[in-house]
Chains A and B, each alone.
Chain A
Amino acid sequence: MTKIFPFDYDQHDYPNGLRLITVPTGFPHIVSLYIVVHVGSRNETEAGKSGFAHLFEHMMFRGTAMYPPERYESVLKQAGAAQNAYTDDDLTVYHTTFTREDLPQILEMEADRFANLEYGEEVFRTEARAVLAEYNKDSAEPFHLLHEKLREASFDGHPYRHTTMGFLRDIERMPELYEFSRQFHRRYYRPENTTMIVAGDVEVATTRKLVEASWGGWAREGFVDVIPEALPLGGPKDVVVDWPSETLPVLQVAYRTPAYSDVSLESAALDILSYLYFSSSSALYEELVLVDQCCDVFFGIYADHVDPYLYVVTARVKDAARVEDVRRRVAETVELMKAEVVDAARLETVKSHLRYGFAMRMDHTDGIAGLLARYVALKRTPETINRLYEQYARVTAEDLQRVARTYFVEENRVTALLRSKA
């Protein structure tokens, strides 16, 4: 079949372990640089140090001897660049979009930042407080609290137990961990743990040379991380979360599911099940949102992760008295998934949605690079997208039934309910 990822890309490994992926997109003038460090909250295995990958993302803006923050900022301003960064469970991404003539200087400046980051303890303490302020800002939104509690109940023994922000108690004591932060940099901010995406108005050979010149001297560390496996869930579990003020109840029904894979059918099948049974095109959405109108938000999602994670069905219920009814109907749909062999035409519609949905996202350089970064975090190559879509094409109605029967079982279930205390 035709590969879904429509661009000819170049994947190149340097001797120090850094991987460069160059994607000439055909869109003029603009270049997006996405630097993916394969570290996230998944790597926070030590007690009391949750949230550190995210804190470290902040520290990366604190400068080097050659490029102190003011100079760094000045170069970005001169380039008119749009820059940001984010951290998630399996990755930390630094991304910058700018016009093509600025590529050499930005590559050089970023190479210096990754290899030579330097900051003092007082700056570290100040930044740790900015992270607490970020937690405080997020805490206004009930979904954040529900997410925290759901994960805490779902992952005994594995770092997915905490969110990327980390436990509040750990965030509060972050200012004391300056020495650990230096160690964190040495361990994870290394070429063998980094994949760089350069997309847009670029040529492969020139980009390879530019990266070689500025990033080739970055030394390998060879740190090997050991991430523990989560203990069996021992479900079903039920969690209730009280929200202090006015809100609508939110019900999340979650099942432990396998890690992302592009060589087996499971991930593809779980995605397809989401669209069949829990999307805006599903029968249950029609019942709950359009006909009965007891929910205003309803969706189910299998979120790709490096390690086994969760399949989560989320329903925001307009009337607290209807929560149990919604819970029952979600359970009935889960049973239906296991019992029925889905209609072939309906399955084909979902596959069409997936193919067109992907094509719709290939319309600008920054979006393409941003999407690639998510997949690169999982398998370190754009090829994983092509493989995943090949799996989608292969999935049969019988596969869906088998996967549903394997994972949507009571031992794997955690249900979390957020309700207003007010």
Chain B
Amino acid sequence: MSGSLHSVRIAFRSGTSLDPKGKEGLASLTASLVAEGASRTRSYKQILDEFFRMAAGFEVQVDQELTVFYGTVHRDHVTQYEAIVMEMLEEPAFLVEDFVRVKSDLLNYLKVGLRGSNDEELAKELLYAKIFAGHPYGHPCCGTVAGLEAIELSDVKEYFTNVLKRNELLELPAARTLEGLEVTLVEKEDARGVAMSFGYPIEVRRGHADYHALLVAQSWLGQHRNGGRLFDSIREVRGLNYGDYAYIEYFPDGMHEFEPEPNVARQQQIFEVWLRPVTPEKALFAFRMALYEIDQLKRNGMSVEDFERTRNFLSKYVKLLIKTEALVQGYRIDSEFYGTVEYTRYIAEGLAGLTLEDVNRAARKYLDTEKLCFVAVGPGMAELGRQMRESVATPIAYEVEQPKEVLAVDRVVGAWPLRVTDLQIVPFERVFEN
């Protein structure tokens, strides 16, 4: 049946990291206007009507280093579809009314969608912005409020003509070195829970000699929406939240996606942990629990059984990811970006030669529980800040009886030392203003 569908995916090596200073959001706004605006001979309304008849669409995804336009259509409509999307890509009309609409949509996404109602994604995006402060990755792909507001239609036209369609790899400065625990707390007094993310830059990415070893360690800690050590320890045993996951590659929109989307490839990645909202009084304990588990892996390594099981899981699981022609295209673009062979082959071959010692060595080398950025969004941030700065012990009490092994671990976790080197508290309305 997939033979009856036809997918188009066009990628450029441009993106948010090329946004000019003071016009953060220009890459997203330009690409969105191409995908959601009129072209030379068709109004946007006409385009929507044509797509509606075909039940097709044409979307754009902008990341730090990649901009991709993509869509799928039934074979009955390929010729007409391609004529429409090629005109959109080659000859966008850049009408004022479309510009005003798309700019307002992006501002609303930032203010209402992200800042106002998605605390978890806000924590994740702010984590990246903090880790990459002063770096071209230092603001989110949707831009900043001031940046978006400053963009004129002429900026969009200029970016489209001179930047969007570039195809060379970007030269990026190195990520900064973290010196300790850098804490950013976003106050949102009406939230019911505290959403948390933490992490730090890593040199490992696809193509790096340690990629597969670190992938196994990450998967064992917390494979996205598929459980793992953090999930078991924080949610299953202690019932503290809904889920806890680790990453070695950017993974946006985890609230809604179960599997990674292609084409968010980046030359520089971070090791990242996402803790889903925890009630305020247990939030710091949950963070410490995650640090404890990472420390355990770093010190003790994985067991041979866990290693074999995780490696086996990944070898098979990656084959489930590339389900459609659209995804085949997306993964191919990423393989080209990273200079690796086809993705499932790359994973299979890398895992096949891997040893337990490779994984444990990578865990010792790349896992860190001290030099990292931590972001929390929720209520009661002044108190959380005080507890973190003073490394106050946060023992935990349960409504149910817990085994003595769990309580023994809890005593260590509750007193886990925190060495905060920087701590800021900001109201959520101020995040990504500039």
Contacts and interface: CB of A to CB of B under 8 A. Distances in A.
Interface of A: 6-7, 25-27, 29-30, 69, 73-74, 76-84, 97-99, 121-122, 125-130, 133-137, 139-143, 175, 244-248, 275, 279-281, 286, 289-291, 293, 296, 318, 349, 352-354, 356-357, 359-360, 362-367
Nearest to A32: B320
Contact of A125 (B112, B310, B400): B400
Contacts, number: 192
Contact of A98 (B120, B195, B320, B429): B320
A97 B345 CA distance: 20
Interface residues of B, number: 74
A29 B321 CA distance: 13
Contacts of A83: 226
Given A99-B319, A136-B192, A246 B312 contact: no
A72 to B, nearest CB: 10
A203 B131 CA distance: 52
Contacts of B315: 80
Contact of A244 (B77, B190, B242): B190
Contacts of B279: 133, 136
Interface in B1-50: 1-2, 4-5, 44-45, 48-49
A288 B188 CA distance: 32
B116 interface: yes
Contacts of A244: 190
Q: Please list the 3 inter-chain residue pairs (A to B) with the smallest Cβ-Cβ separation, ordered nearest first.
A: A80-B316, A357-B55, A356-B55
Nearest to A367: B323
Contacts of A318: 104, 108
Contact of B242 (A84, A125, A130): A130
Interface of B: 1-2, 4-5, 44-45, 48-49, 52-56, 72, 74, 76-77, 97, 100-101, 104-105, 108, 111-112, 115-120, 188, 190-193, 195, 225-227, 235-242, 258-259, 276-279, 309-310, 312-320, 323-325, 398-401, 428-429
A286 B101 CA distance: 12
A76 B225 CA distance: 13
B45 A122 contact: no
B316 A281 contact: no
B239 A127 contact: yes
A137 B49 contact: no
Contacts of B112: 246-248
Contacts of B56: 356, 360
A165 B149 CA distance: 39
B323 A364 contact: yes
A372 to B, nearest CB: 14
Of A136, A279, A366, most buried by chain B (CB within 10 Å of CB) is: A136
Contact of B55 (A82, A97, A360, A364): A360
Given A80-B316, A363-B324, A139 B192 contact: yes
Nearest to A291: B97
B258 to A, nearest CB: 7
B117 A142 contact: yes
Of A84, A290, A366, most buried by chain B (CB within 10 Å of CB) is: A290
Given A78-B309, A137-B242, A293-B101, A246 B429 contact: yes
